[in-house]
Homo-oligomer: A and B are copies of this chain.
Amino acid sequence: MSDAPVLDLATIRHGCAHCSLQQLCLPAGINPTELQQLDDIVRRRRPVARGERLYRPGDALTAVYVARDGAFKTVSISEEGEEQVVGFHLPGELIGLDALGAGTHRCEAVALTTANVCEVPFDQLATIAAQLPSLQHQLLRVIGQSVGRDQDHLGMLVRRQAGERIALFLHGLSERYRNIGQSATQFKLPMSREDIAHYLGLALETVSRGFTRLQEEGVIELAGRRVDIRNPAELNRLAHSAEHEEPRRSARA
């Protein structure tokens, strides 16, 4: 009783003011006194276990969520029971916006790893956002960024072939890790090949083959879910230009 896990308490006690994600999350750009108001409504939850859900399809919109660490996927289930992965969510990226339209969630949000999550009651967030222009502004910005990621996602799916989608996926993930201050070249994929397939609109075998091919070409090094990007320039090239083009002589020519 007297000694709960040290790390958890430390994390939980720290408010937004001490959070390393502060500048990427809702608090970005709002001043200290305003921050306190936001902080007051944020609930910091105990770790969420891998596979746990923050909400399910049909649940009423009660809160939006942000992971402080770990990763989530949001999934919509088609009528035939097939999973469609709508998005992956790294620390600092808002989760739960799928309920903004109808007031109930369209997706479910599943933890891909053990994760610590901040829960922001939505009504209260809307209320104080109305009082704090900078928070309102930031809320819209964060929503907009989420829309932007969805559009990037769309861009991966339309008229791109498998290898290109996979390069784009790795490249995007790499950028997002860089953004939150982690290594952009070495990381562990929090999601399975199947999740990636359902995200990219491919068969999981195709994803696996694509990874293998990138490894054979020396672009990445794979060990299960560990990825090491050996040739970021080439990955970038594969992601942004047609694949059939022959490899360039020099990296930047």
Contact = CB atoms under 8 A, between A and B. Distances in A.
A100 B143 CA distance: 7
A79 interface: yes
Interface stretch (A43-51, A112-120, A126-134, A213-221): A126-134
A151 to B, nearest CB: 6
A11 interface: no
Interface string A79-114: 110101010000000000111111100110000000
A106 B154 contact: no
Contacts of A107: 151
A154 B101 contact: no
A252 interface: no
Interface residues of A, number: 46
B242 A144 contact: no
A153 interface: yes
Q: Is the interface of A mostly helix, strand, loop or mixed?
A: helix
A19 interface: no
Nearest to A99: B144
Contact of A148 (B84, B101, B145): B101
Interface stretch (A28-36, A155-163, A183-191): A155-163
Contact of A130 (B79, B133, B145, B146): B133
A150 B151 contact: yes
A140 interface: yes
Contacts of A80: 241-242
B240 A79 contact: yes
B126 A136 contact: yes
Nearest to A157: B157
A245 B5 CA distance: 55
Contacts of A121: none
Given A98-B148, A101-B141, A150-B150, A76 B155 contact: yes
7 contacts: A100-B144, A101-B147, A126-B133, A126-B140, A130-B130, A136-B136, A158-B201
Given A84-B154, A86-B154, 9 more contacts: A79-B240, A98-B148, A100-B148, A101-B147, A102-B145, A126-B133, A127-B133, A129-B130, A150-B150
Give me the 4 closest cross-chain CB pairs, A-B, nearest first.
A100-B144, A101-B144, A158-B201, A101-B145
